[in-house]
Amino acid sequence: MDELSIAVFASGGGTNLQSLIDSCKQGAWDGSITAVISNNSGAYALERARNENIAACHISGVKFPERERFVGEMLRTLENHKVNLIVLAGYMKLLPVEVVRKYRNRILNIHPALLPKYGGKGMYGMNVHKAVIESGDSISGATVHFVDEIFDHGVILIQRTVPVLPDDDPESLAARVLKVEHKILPAAVSMFA
């Protein structure tokens, strides 16, 4: 495997992105994060990229209303940075099918639950943790999986569990799961490398 050139997609605060940046700096794999792409121009993830002199790219359906220009811009950005691994780290959109096809088996996603449970459309962020608590499950966790054309559906690479405590609310469970996400996402990239 040649050196990794990783594009990270994120829509929000980017703590998963930060865990990748930190692991990369500690030499967890050969290669670097060459671009951060967000659909949200205000995403703190883009700020984290700028702080590290990583290309911070705002690519959204608002900025590129015509679909073929949107997809073209995304593919051009990935090609310009010679990307050979895409990591979705809190990215709230479905990747265009053209991107999934071109980078098949080179796209990882982190999901804050034990897929295949609590996955699929609408199952993101707090919705996931609310559903887990309402179900009465005593364990939850996080999953890193390969991405295909269906939300949260591809082959699973790593899962790690956390307990659901009787007095948990969605926020306390989310915080416990997030800590595990920050561990298994860099581990999955190292495995891929």
Q: Kindly name the residue from 81, 111, 129, 182 that is annotated as catalytic.
A: 111
For ligand GRF, the closer of residues 71 and 123 by Cβ is 123
Select from 11-19, 27-35, 54-62, 94-102 the region that touches ligand GRF (CB under 6 A): 11-19
**Binding span for ligand GRF by CB under 6 A among 34-42, 97-105, 108-116, 154-162:** 108-116
Considering only residues 103, 124, 141, 173, which one is a binding residue for ligand GRF as defined by CB under 6 A? 124
Among candidate residues 62, 71, 128, the one with its CA nearest the CA of residue 94: 71
Looking at 100, 110, 157, 173, which residue binds ligand GRF (CB under 6 A)?
110
Asked whether position 14 contacts ligand GRF by CB under 6 A, the answer is yes
| 107-111 sheet: strands from edge to edge | 55-58, 31-38, 4-9, 85-88, 107-111, 139-146, 156-163
Question: Distance between CA 84 and CA 146 in Å, rounded?
Answer: 14
Residue closer to ligand GRF (CB basis): 90 or 186: 90
Ramachandran category for residue 136: left, alpha or beta (phi over 0 → left; psi -120 to 50 → alpha): left
In eight-state DSSP terms, residue 82 is: T
Inter-residue contact 155 to 178 (CB < 8 Å): no
Q: With binding defined as CB under 6 A, does residue 29 bind ligand GRF? A: no
Residues carrying an active site annotation: 111
Kindly list the residues in this chain that would bind ligand GRF in the complex (CB under 6 A). Answer: 10, 12-17, 89-90, 110-112, 124-125, 178, 181
